[in-house]
Structures are given as C-alpha cells and as structure tokens.
Amino acid sequence: MSSKAITKVQASIVIAIIVIAAIAGASYYVLVPPTPPKPKAPSKILIGADLPMTGGQAELGKEAKEVLDIWISDVNKEGGIYLSKYGQKVPVEIMLLDDQSNTAISAPNIEKLANEGAAVIFGPSGTPFALSGAPAAERSKIAIVPIKCSTVKLTRLGYTYVFAGYRSFADDFPSLFNVIEEMIPAEKRPKTFAIISDNTAFGTESLEWFVKVAKERGYANKIVLKENITANQVDFTASILNIKKANPDLLFDSIFFHSTVFNFFRQMKSNDFFPKMYVGWTAHSTMSWVETLGKEDSNYAFIIHCSWHEKLPFPGAKELAEKYRAKYNKVPHTDIGLTYAVLQVIGDAIKRAGEPDREKIKTALYATDLTTVLGKIKFRQPGETDTGRIITPKYVAQYQKGDLVLVWPKEYATGTLIYPALSWGERK
C-alpha cells in the first residue's frame, strides 16, 4: 500500500473517532443534563430574640443584647452564614422583642416571632420566662434556645423544640462538693450548711436540688438551716440573724432577682455576718457584681455555675474578651462567653441545615458537636433524661481582689481557692 493510501486510511480512522466521540458526548449530554441553577437565596436569615430589656431583669437582657450585637457583627463581616441550598452566604438579621421581665409576655413574643418568619429563637432569659415560653415554641414548631435557665423541668417535660443553653442544677451542684472534697483538707471542710432561698420557681427548685445532691454525697446531716424569703423582699434582718445564730460554715444563696441578692449581701455586712464559704448563683455571675459592691465587699463569693472565663484555652475566648472590653469598656464576666457560645451553636445549626428551615434547624441543633469559646458543646438527645439540655465543661470560680478567678477544675484554674473567707472586719 502506498503512503498516500495509508494517509487516507489514517484520516478516515481519525474522522471516525471524532464522529464516535461526538455521538458519545451527545449521548452523555442527554443522559446527564447540566446541574440546574441554585434557587434564589433569601435576602436575610431572620433570627428571633426574646429578652428582658425593661423591668426587674433588664440587666440580663441588656447584657445578652450586647453579646448579640458582637456576634451579629462577627457573622455579617464575613458575609453572613453559608447556606448550601443557595450556594452562598446570607446575612443575619435579628428581630428582638422585650418581654418586660414579665413571664406572661414570653409566650406571646415567641408566637409573634414565629409568625414574623423567624427561623429560630434566641432566648428567653431566665427560668420563669423559659418555662412560660416553651409551650408556645412547641405550638409554633420553632426551636428556642433559652439562656440563664437552670431548671431541670424545662428539659424533662417532653418538649422537642426547646434547647436549654445552660447547665441545670442537677449538672452543677455536684461541682460544689467536688471542690470541697478535692481542694479542702478533710479536717478543714465545711461542717455545717445553711440555705437562703426565695419563693420563685428558681429559688424553690434550686433549694430542692441542693438538698438532693447533698444527700447523695453524704452531706444531708450537715444542713442546719433552710431560710425562706419572698421574691423582692427588702428587709432581711430577721433571716440574717437566724443564719448568724446557726453560724454555718457554708451559706448557699438561692435568691433569683439580682436586686434582691445585692440587698441581702449588703445586709449581711451591716449585720456583721460572712460564712467561711459563700456560694451564689444568679447575680454573682454578672459583670455588675464587683461594680455594684466594690472590690473588697464583692470578694470571696464562690460561683459553682461559672460557665466561661476569658482565660480558657479555647478558640476565640481571648478575642471575645478583647472585643467586649473595646466596645463596652466593661469586664467580660462569665455569662458573656456562654451567651456568645449559644449564638455560635445557633449559627452552626443554621449552616448545617443549609437553609433557614425550622425543622432542619431543629434537627441540626440535636446533632450539635461544636467547639466554642467555652469548650465543646453538645445537646442531650431524644430519649435521654434531659433532652435538649446543653452539655458543656464545668467550671467553678471565686471573686478575689475584684477579679473572677477560676479555681476548678485544676487543669483550667487561674488561681487557688481561698478558704476560709475573711470576715468583714478582717478585710482591708
């Protein structure tokens, strides 16, 4: 065969290959159509918030709002939250309603936020408000993440849309006895306990759990006094004199309203009583504790419900403290970090849901496994005792020289426990 003939044959083969490839490509196009375009993204992700901006608990709401503003700024500076359904980031917008520190308003607020199109709700803040709002969340089929809510009841009533962004009394009271047993020599440990509680849902339940855990840990016979007051009581002279007469080594303050806590604490000083260990829960963990009482008088208050500290070795903890100081010129106390972490959890759930769909967000919340500014966070699952209850590391702190010092567990401690505390007369 001549070279020309070979060339013609080769050309024919090449043409045949091209034709076959074209046909195959056409067939492939028919069998596998191009990916359809993503649906148009919404202009915003609406997150609802129910907080006490006025009334007796306004300090809690304003503090939460400050953290909320930092979180929104952080998220939207990055373009928003990425939603895979639309293939892009979408900015966040907050719709905030004031419950006026009135439990009767929490439920209507949640229903309104749901009707306005919120994808998820941050809040309410506080045990009574969360208990009031939870049924409305169930009716509206919208997930809520309350903060500052330690009641065990909230997550044991069968709700499926309630994700408590706080540890419970059952989680935290064992920490008190861990500190006593791990950090105080046996011969020096508190031998007598007293409790001061009010008649709010918080006061009643925290009293019950303190007694329950004390019994479980073998301290039941050490409880020498249970002193009860009424919510918003002003004069505590009689109660303090009763406690002073019993002279307990440890006093647990189970008063809910912050202003009442401050009044009680001041009147302890005017009646010259301070125990070897004073344990608090509510107002004690706020930024106003030192600011209101002063560096000397605020000392030695011991917080078993310490949710966060700026010196914790977790991503973003130090940066959050710096942002908070720069923006508000205030000390970033323990609940600042927890509030921010709850918002991190909400943002993460929306991202994993891929769209602002309430059911998908609820499902994503249950699957939370996220390292936040206060450590790793998960939620207890359906079928567990405290469904929807946040699981976080436990920390204990004490005020010393006007600063909040982490004292337990040892691997995170920034200082050592001072025990016994100095009496009022010994302080300088």
pLDDT tens per residue, range 41-52: 999 999 999 999
* pLDDT of residue 327 exceeding 90: yes
> What region, left, alpha or beta, does residue 226 occupy, with left being phi > 0 and alpha being psi -120 to 50 degrees?
beta
Is residue 395 within 8 Å of 309, Cβ to Cβ?
Answer: yes
Global pTM value:
0.84
Residue tagged 């710096």 (tokens): 322
Burial (Cβ within 10 Å: 0-12, 13-18, ≥19) of residue 303: buried
**Full set of structural domains in the chain with CATH:** 45-167+314-391 (3.40.50.2300), 170-306+395-426 (3.40.50.2300)
* pLDDT of residue 310 exceeding 60: yes
Average pLDDT over residues 127-133: 91
DSSP string, 41-69: PPS-EEEEEEE--SSTTHHHHHHHHHHHH
Q: What is the C-alpha separation between 224 and 251, in angstroms, rounded? A: 10
* pLDDT of residue 34 exceeding 90: no
Is residue 280 within 8 Å of 302, Cβ to Cβ?
Answer: yes
Q: List Cβ<8 Å contacts ≥24 apart for 156-159.
A: 156/385, 156/386, 156/387, 158/387, 159/134, 159/135, 159/387, 159/388
What mean pLDDT, rounded, does the chain reach? 90
Is residue 399 within 8 Å of 298, Cβ to Cβ?
Answer: yes
Evaluate the CA torsion angle 325, 330, 334, 336 in order and state its sign: negative
Question: Residue 83 is inside which H or E element, if any?
Answer: strand 81-83
Q: Which residue type is seen at 69?
A: D
Q: Which CA distances in Å does 398 have to 32, 67, 102, 250, 417?
A: 65, 23, 31, 14, 7
The pLDDT, as a whole number, for residue 24 is 46
Q: What is the C-alpha separation between 23 and 31, in angstroms, rounded? A: 12
The pLDDT, as a whole number, for residue 90 is 98
Q: Which CA distances in Å does 124 have to 4, 68, 134, 160, 284?
A: 88, 13, 9, 16, 20
Which residues have a Cβ under 8 Å from the Cβ of 428 and sit 6 or more positions away? 296
Q: Which residue type is seen at 286?
A: T
How far does CA 80 lie from the centroid of its chain? 22
* pLDDT of residue 28 exceeding 50: no
The pLDDT, as a whole number, for residue 22 is 47
The pLDDT, as a whole number, for residue 31 is 53
Between 287 and 104, residue with greater pLDDT? 104
Within 141-200, where are the H helices? 169-183
Q: What is the C-alpha separation between 54 and 62, in angstroms, rounded? A: 9
Nearest to 256 by CA among 127, 169, 135, 143: 127
Backbone φ and ψ of 48, nearest 5°: -85, 155
* pLDDT of residue 311 exceeding 80: yes
The pLDDT, as a whole number, for residue 133 is 96
SS3 301: strand
